[in-house]
Amino acid sequence: MTLAARGQWASLALICAGVVGAMTCWFSATAILPELIRDWSLSAGQAGWLTNAVQIGFVLGAMAASLVNLPDIMRLTRLIAISALLAAVSNAALLLEPGFTGAVTARFVTGVALAGLYPPAMKLMATWFVRGRGLAMGLLIGGLTLGSSMPHLFRALGGGLDWRIVVIASTLATVSSAFIFGCLVQEGPNAFGRATFNPREALAVLRNRPVFLANLGYFGHMWELYAMWAWFLAFATAASQSGVTPFGSPSLFVFVVVASGVAGSVLGGVLSDRIGRCLTTAGMMVVSGACALLIGFAFDGPVWLLALIAIVWGVSIIGDSAQFSAAVTELADSRFVGTALTLQVSIGFALTVLAIWLMPQVAALLGGWRWAFVILLPGPVIGAWAMMALRRAPEASLLASGRR
């Protein structure tokens, strides 16, 4: 391996480690919702907003950063480090027990801060990789997945005794992320294009049918992903009350399920480069949609079956994520790639707000969490259809060096 290649992979390892640390803030409040509902006397609707506020903050933060070209004005590593520090401070604000309004505000700021971290981290990775970018992107999404799962591990290790342990641990992890990006990582030798958002350019992107189909696949994926991540603890807790508790506790069960997505992200990157982006993403969504449908049947056991379906779901639900962004960079007009990615991420995360809000309403309507995840099934169905439609388009030859 050449010195340059070693520098590539060492930098990717540091970037992924930084993403893992920072993303522990994303679901830090979600992981302790049972305790916050109890201690702060929250309703199910209020509890949902502690997750949704992060999603909304991320969407608005990403669009605002793009509108003012923030990643172009500031050095990427400096922007990411400052964003990580802001996320750590807003996450730590939960320790002050600010009440519902204050907590939602703090979670909103956390989302805004993470918008200054995650998309720029993708660009930072791209400065190091031209060849092998699909696998590198998969590893980066794997870091996001592992970081998102960590609060559930913190809660499991803390025995559910004090929710503050989770907040403190995730805050310290995010501070470590700021140190990594501020002191240890540099930008690579390959410059990344400007990421601007212009309404006129957006219309041109929306008229591009192959890009539209790739985006539709992503939107279906996002409809399912964050709603499952946000509410799987509620599902696992309800199952445990029926005597079915894989891995000993609901929190550890959720950690295993979400963290299994790391393997899915790597697998998706490898498969996408070998058999094509369309087949990989459609296949992952078929599997994840089947799991959303089947997991209710295993709600009351046997334990091994519930664990198996859940882990397969955890692998497949995130395994395609990085490949939608990769597809857009290959299909969009090179002048508007930044706009295309901004539209994709902003609309996709906006959809998660609706899906996360809808889940507890569906659970209440159905009298419990057993069948609530069925409402997510239309996402992967529509997404898989869109990607197979894209595979039939002549423009699909541009994907992954001709691998559709």
| Residue at which a domain ends, from 184, 213, 238 | 184
Domain boundary among 184, 214, 235: 184
SS3 300: coil
For residue 166, being part of any structural domain is answered with yes
Alpha-carbon dihedral sign for residues 299, 148, 168, 65: negative
Name the domain boundary from 123, 152, 184.
Answer: 184
Structural domain range at position 289: 198-404
Q: Which two tokens stand for residue 51?
A: 């997750």
Same domain for 265 and 317? yes
Residue 230 shares a structural domain with residue 337 = yes
CA atoms within 13 A on the CB side of 363: 21
CB 124 within 8 A of CB 187: yes
42 and 162 part of one domain:
yes
* 191 is a domain residue: no
Quickly list H helices, 94-132: 99-115, 118-126
Structural domain includes residue 269: yes
Q: Tell me: the pLDDT tens digits for 232-286? A: 999 999 999 988 999 989 999 999 999 999 999 889 888 887 888 899 999 999 9
286 and 403, same domain (yes or no): yes
Distance, CA of 72 to CA of 181 (rounded, Å): 17
The pLDDT tens digits of the residues spanning 206-229 come to 778 888 899 999 999 999 999 999
Residue 118 has pLDDT above 90, yes or no: no
Same domain, 176 and 211: no
Other C-beta atoms closer than 10 Å to the C-beta of 97 total 12
Kindly state whether residue 388 falls inside one of the protein's structural domains: yes
106 Cα distance to chain centroid: 19
**pLDDT at residue 3 in the model:** 45
Same domain, 208 and 168: no
Alpha carbon distance 205, 371 (integer Å): 37
For residues 173 and 267, state if they share a domain.
Answer: no
pTM over 0.95? The answer is no
The domain total for the chain is 2
Distance CA 98, CA 31 (A): 18
Whether 394 and 281 share a structural domain:
yes
> 203 and 293 in one domain?
yes
List Cβ<8 Å contacts ≥24 apart for 271-276: 272/134, 272/138, 272/323, 272/326, 272/400, 272/403, 273/134, 273/135, 273/400, 273/403, 274/403, 275/403, 276/391, 276/399, 276/400, 276/403, 276/404
Residue 331 has pLDDT above 50, yes or no: yes
Residues 252 and 399 in one domain: yes
309 with 398, same domain? yes
Domain at 48, CATH number: 1.20.1250.20
Asked if 12 and 158 sit in the same domain, the reply is: yes
